[in-house]
Structure 1
Amino acid sequence: MHPQDTTRDFETIALPHLDAAYNLARWLTRNDQDAEDLVQAAFVRAFRFFATFRGEDARSWVLTIVRNTHFTQLRDNWESRNSLPFDEELHADGAGLEQQSPEGALLQRDTQAAVNHALERLPTAFREVVVLKDMNDFSYKEIAEIVGVPIGTVMSRLARGRKLLLAYLDGYAPGG
């Protein structure tokens, strides 16, 4: 295959999943800059090994590489910088906020902040399955492939992660 064909095929197959890759990387690293670095390293790795891609689900394939790259970097003592708090304004979906009352916008922002804080408190094993299922709408089977565990483990981690998330949010009263 010609290098230009490989590049074009990679761009067609992998790049549409860049946002999902960043979203997972952001929740794994808890830091915007580290997430960007992780996605860049993962996409370099994906391109290098693109010849091994056999046409399966490209989104799962890309996110598996993001996840594996993250844990490889951790294992190899990749130096993490201090985590920055999740920036609500940067990551909030601004759609429709102009039509809300100021009180409604603040309430939505407070709720997002509480959920994001609770998500960040989850252990990584639980956080990644909650993010993959509830924020990226992956199936249990896809998550099992990405994370490299049986479907039953995914279901267990998801249930435990959601239960912990609710416990962290217990007592949160919007606007209070």
Structure 2
Amino acid sequence: MNEASDGQLLRDWREGRETAAFTALVHRHQDALLRQARGLLGAGSVYEDVVQEVFLKLAREGLILTSEASGDPDAERRQLLGWLHTVTRNACMDAIRSETRRKRREQDAASPDRAEGGLRLVEADDTRSVVERELQKLPVDQRDVLVLRLLADRSYREIAEITGKKIGTVGWLISEGLKRLSAQLAPLLAMDGAPVHGLAAATQPLTGRNTGLSGQDRAQGGLA
């Protein structure tokens, strides 16, 4: 008996709410999504919950295949996988940003300087919010490496492993992304009255690590 295609399983779920069809989709693709989410979020994190949310989104919203893909099992699979991996990546990036904000709130609450430096801290929080918002306007490849670097505090080597890019490419994307991000931020921060010379600090990893390549990373550089 031939195995049902992804397209057929999607149609069975969308049109008849056949639980067996959706279960088959989950079993077929969950391992790849778990590997992707664990790579982005790390072991011991919420990566399993993220993947569960991705499948819940598929169950709620469904996915209508394009007419070009419908009926071609390989094309159906490519389209579904593209949707699943994109939603998983976006969900992971949202989880990273949420965790970063949570840690920052905890650090601010525990800071003894909070009471006497309230205005300065509010301004810093506002700047970080602007940075996070402007990150979303970058090209996807630049945005993803910067989120991993600035928000998840991943090393260049870790980012290279997660994205499948060479360390040199990661460094180039981060450099280009920071240039574009700085250009986007300069007029916004100046308009809000924040000092433009604070851009460098604003675009450093929010946990405090420097964005530069280590000597070993530079030695292993190269573009992919």
Normalization by structure 2: what TM-score? Answer: 0.40
- TM-score, normalised to structure 1, is 0.49
Structure showing greater Rg: 2
Which of structures 1 and 2 has the larger relative contact order (alpha carbons within 8 angstroms, sep 6+)?
Answer: 1
